[in-house]
């Protein structure tokens, strides 16, 4: 195991304890390769390795699988609405007529307000 990222650890530890340090770092590197986790280690002058923090395990790549819808959205727009498909065609004329009635009543109210003579404040 000649991983250059462990060079500062070997420089810090007394050479008598290098075999012990090597054994622990080898086990941690093997476990890290299996799980894909990252670790923050604390190493003493005597070669003891203490695990301070461990990252979360990576999520599996098969966690989400996209499934295309059976019917394209442009073929049946009612699927993108909360309204039942049976009512969608009948309700369109009712909705448009209701909107037109509301618009007409709002315009009539505006005409009454703007046609009233201005109040003399002199």
pTM over 0.85: no
Count the domains in the chain: 2
Q: Percentage of the chain with pLDDT > 90?
A: 33
Q: Is residue 64 part of a domain?
A: no
Q: Is residue 38 part of a domain?
A: yes
Using alpha carbons, list the distances in angstroms from residue 24 to 18, 43, 46, 49, 112.
10, 10, 12, 7, 88
Q: Which residue has the tokens 């280690």?
A: 41
Average pLDDT value for residue range 33-59:
91
Domain of 39, in residue numbers: 4-54
Q: Is residue 71 part of a domain?
A: no
pLDDT over 90 at 107, yes or no: no
Q: Is residue 104 part of a domain?
A: yes
Instruction: Work out the pLDDT band at 30, boundaries 50, 70, 90.
Output: very high
Q: Give the model confidence (pLDDT) of 57-82 as tens digits.
A: 888 877 777 888 888 777 776 666 66
- Pair (8, 49) in one structural domain: yes
- Pair (10, 45) in one structural domain: yes
């Amino acid at each position: 195991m000649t991983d250059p990222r462990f060079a500062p650890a070997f420089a810090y530890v007394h050479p008598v304890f290098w075999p012990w340090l090597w054994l622990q770092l080898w086990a941690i590197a093997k476990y890290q390769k299996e799980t894909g986790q990252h670790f923050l280690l604390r190493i003493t002058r005597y070669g003891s390795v203490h695990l301070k923090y461990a990252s979360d395990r990576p999520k599996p790549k098969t966690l989400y699988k996209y499934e295309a819808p059976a019917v394209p959205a442009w073929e049946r727009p009612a699927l993108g609405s909360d309204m039942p498909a049976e009512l969608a065609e009948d309700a369109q004329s009712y909705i448009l007529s209701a909107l037109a009635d509301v618009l007409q009543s709002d315009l009539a109210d505006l005409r009454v307000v703007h046609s009233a003579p201005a109040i003399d404040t002199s």
